[in-house]
Amino acid sequence: MQETNNSENVKNGNSLEIVEKSNENKVPVIPIGLNLNNISMNEEKKEKDNKKFKTPMRKEVVKVGALNNILKVLEPIDFEHFAYGDKYQILENDYESVSDYETKNEIKSKLDDMKISFDGKIVIVVENMLSKSEDIGLSLGFLNNNIYLFNGDYWKELVYKPLIIEFLVMVAEASGLEPYKVRQSNARSRLLEEFISTCSIPENKSNEEIKINFKNGTYVFNNGKGKLREFRKDDYLFWYNRQIGCFF
């Protein structure tokens, strides 16, 4: 009697499958050429981290492309180095190199005095966010109790203030502040206060020029002459005229 084999070898693309005729002892398929050393044991953890709970407001922040782009370029801040630069670094190096007990304590006392308070960190977080925003051609501002976003062409009003508050909380977290500290109501208020005081837009009272934004640039009238030039944040052009297709 001819002996029958329980399995068949089936070539499928770049992998070799062992297809069992019975439901027992199924062998997993490993693609040919797969480097097992590249498989991270933390992939499952990363997937779980990516699925962390997000509040409805955080989901709305991410939907605003410009705000999401700002968040992407932010990194944790070393606040003492940010504030004091080389001075703080030199003291740190001295502290590590000296062995004399009294001298070491003196240096440590100076380093402790230079520690940035929470309010100080809020100031740095907002200023750093504005600097990073300008690096990618964006900006945020406050005028007449309204918050605006410069999108590269004109200033667009962000009519929903809770949106910008949640954005500022996310900025603080991305900058290295403790999440469950900056999410508290008093921290939210401080972030908004600092944002408003730092980002206030000056009112444009100049009567020398008339500026009109078109899709391909800004047309500037001055002393009876006009010319088309590039968009500028400092023009502070805020609203769009749909009838003639330009911004004022």
Give the pLDDT band (50/70/90) at residue 159: low
pLDDT at 224: 74
What does the alpha-carbon distance between residue 57 and residue 156 come to, in Å, rounded to a whole number? 19
Query: Tens digits of per-residue pLDDT, 195-244?
Result: 999 988 777 656 677 777 776 777 677 777 777 777 776 667 665 544 44
What pLDDT, in 10s, does the model give residues 10-29?
Answer: 444 444 444 444 445 555 55
> Average pLDDT, whole number, for the chain?
77
- Could you give the CA distance from residue 248 to residue 243 in angstroms, rounded to a whole number? 13
Which pTM value belongs to this model? 0.66
Cα dihedral: 69, 75, 80, 84 (round 10): -60
Of all residues in the chain, the percent with pLDDT exceeding 70 is: 68
Give dist(CA 244, CA 153) in Å, integer.
16
pLDDT at 99: 85
% the chain with pLDDT above 90? 32
DSSP 51-88: T----HHHHHHHHSHHHHHHHHT-----HHHHHHTHHH
pLDDT (tens digit per residue) in 83-97: 998 899 899 888 888
In angstroms, the CA 21 to CA 149 distance is: 64
Q: Where exactly are the structural domains of the chain?
A: 1-34, 56-199, 209-247
**What is the arithmetic mean of pLDDT over 122-151?**
89
Residue 191 structure tokens: 């972030």
* Identity of the amino acid at 198: T
